[in-house]
A and B are shown apart, each in its own frame.
Chain A
């Protein structure tokens, strides 16, 4: 049902010709929906992270065209050290309406979009609801950054796995070496002792006489 709501948003925003009589209805319905959801999400946002956005906004991209507000902030997010966790949004339905099946980090994209979308017209807010390729250059910019970000995360995970693999094998080898060294030392000691025992036995052997004789 969420996806159908999103569809309504799409259609009402971009429909060139629609004979559907329900169009105005869906428009207002969808608009209400986005307004409500925007506000809800807006409430969810930490003031701290909002402040960060504002600062980033001011510092970078002096020419902040209305066309690409989201993209620049997105890039700024990417520049920020990625190990700071985005504020965990409560898993409310409101945040989920703003993005389709996005794996992490949905919070980041939501945060970046909201400061601008609250007061803009429905058209722009509608765009946030669909990260797909609906409108040529604009959406593909967003999804391109999106995909790049995802790929970066995947690459980091892969790099971490690779390091772990290497470290695990190294540790195993070190353990094996230590074990083998100890065993080697032990065996050498044992050999020494056996040699000594054999030497003393050899000395006593020379003194051996016939101790008993067979009957025949």
Chain B
């Protein structure tokens, strides 16, 4: 599939700000309630209070995957000095299953952007094998690239992102 520069992940800046260019190698389906997440979809915080259902593709239960959920636009897209905020981290997810079968290292924290329209990115990495992943210790200033390098996860296997802004108002004028 030749997407080149029309790939929503590139146009939306996810590839660049968070991830390296990659070729998708597995299916990733993220669903909040009835709403399936497609790139760039606008979802409000009230709709993502609880963790989504995540189903991954593949065909071999012996392959394990790690899911990372980050917000690169904290505290505000015009001044993201806390990039990235780690919302969720699940490891050892067997292919063909979902996050329910994995190891929740960092529990799901629902995004509550205060200022601007944030991108919330979910990335799936393939693990080399079952591995111990240590929880980062804090959520802000997480770096997905470094995390992947640290645990030898390589390039992403799949990724999807959505847009999220406050339910009401605009958060006030930025300084």
A residues apposed to B, CB below 8 Å = 154, 157-158, 161, 164-165, 167-169, 171-173, 175-176
Contact = CB atoms under 8 A, between A and B. Distances in A.
A169 B9 CA distance: 10
Given A164-B11, A164-B13, A175-B8, A169 B39 contact: yes
A172 B8 contact: yes
A158 B78 CA distance: 7
Most buried by A among B13, B40, B117: B40
Contact of B163 (A154, A158, A165): A165
A168 B38 contact: no
Given A154-B78, A165-B117, A165-B163, A171 B38 contact: no
Given A168-B11, A169-B8, 10 more contacts: A154-B78, A161-B13, A164-B13, A168-B40, A169-B39, A169-B40, A171-B7, A172-B39, A175-B3, A175-B8
19 contacts: A154-B174, A158-B77, A158-B78, A161-B77, A161-B78, A164-B13, A165-B40, A165-B163, A168-B8, A168-B11, A168-B12, A168-B40, A169-B8, A169-B163, A171-B11, A171-B39, A172-B8, A172-B41, A175-B8
Contacts, number: 43
Task: Give the dominant DSSP class at B's interface.
Answer: loop
Contacts of A157: 78
A171 B12 CA distance: 10
Interface residues of B, number: 18
Most buried by A among B8, B13, B41, B117: B8
Nearest to A157: B78
B8 A171 contact: yes
A74 B42 CA distance: 40
Contacts of B3: 175
Contacts of B117: 161, 165
A171 B7 CA distance: 7
Nearest to B163: A165
Contacts of A171: 6-8, 11, 39
Contacts of B42: 169
A202 B15 CA distance: 55
**A-B pairs, 3 with minimum CB distance:** A169-B40, A168-B12, A168-B11
Interface in B130-175: 163, 174
A167 B78 contact: no
Contacts of B77: 158, 161
